Amino acid sequence: MHSSDTAEIFFDNVRVPARYIIGEEGRGFFYQMLQFQDERLVAAAVLLEPLQRCIALTAKYASERKLFGSTVLDQQTVHFTLAELQSEVEAVRALLYRAVLSRLHGDDVTLLASMTKLKAGRLARVVTDSCLQFWGGNGFTWDNPVCRMHRDLRLHSVGAGITDAKLVVMGMTANDFAIADPEDAGMLDIVGFDSAVPTLLYDFVNGKL
């Protein structure tokens, strides 16, 4: 993976003057946990465009590549798979929009953020692996953008908490689904939803909110 220069850091015999302490001593992990909601939402948000591009590039390549007297894209298994992948991307987008709206309303979105990150991280692996398969040997060349996405987007199943950690968090917060009135479950004010959400998401991801 080339998208993250990941390495171990060692602090042997290091002394940090007290004046450089940020917050309270011993509370570093707590502070880190506080920002995880935003980090997980951003991690999912930045995946949407690469996944969309991965599908689009694969569809274009498959429409040009000849196979059995037609194109690769003409094979039912190929265009059915790409259609399924596109549907999954849109499903993650919808979940992300809901989580971001709740976050902007001031709600605790620990559960929604974990769900969004879980689904986005898994989908990144499915989309890139499925698309790479349709490129054949060409998909393993270093200058192939789908090859790069297959390699680099793997980070999103690990960064900001591994997939298994998301399941633990979701299990611990499952009581959030225990709503007194089932008719109120999952209801959002959708007035202006289509026009408002893209702007809110853009501002959220770019730190304007």
- Letter string b/e over residues 10-27, b meaning 16 or more CB atoms within 10 A of that residue's CB: eeeeeeeeeeeeeeeeee
Q: Would you say the pTM of this structure is higher than 0.85?
A: no
Query: Which residues on neighbouring strands pair with residue 67, listed in sequence order?
Result: 70
Distance of alpha carbon 177 from alpha carbon 167, whole angstroms: 15
Distance of alpha carbon 204 from alpha carbon 193, whole angstroms: 16
- The confidence score (pLDDT) of residue 202 equals 56
Q: From the candidates 8, 24, 25, 39, give the one annotated as an active-site residue.
A: 39
Helix (H) or strand (E) holding 99: helix 76-104
Catalytic status, residue 39: yes
Q: List the domains of the chain with CATH numbers.
A: 34-176 (1.20.140.10)
Give tens-digit pLDDT for 138-150. Answer: 888 888 999 989 8
**Residue recorded with tokens 């993250």:** 4
Give tens-digit pLDDT for 56-90. Answer: 999 999 998 888 888 888 888 898 999 999 999 99
Distance of alpha carbon 190 from alpha carbon 165, whole angstroms: 32
User: With contact defined as beta carbons under 8 Å apart, do 132 and 147 qualify?
Assistant: yes
pLDDT band for position 48 (50/70/90)?
very high
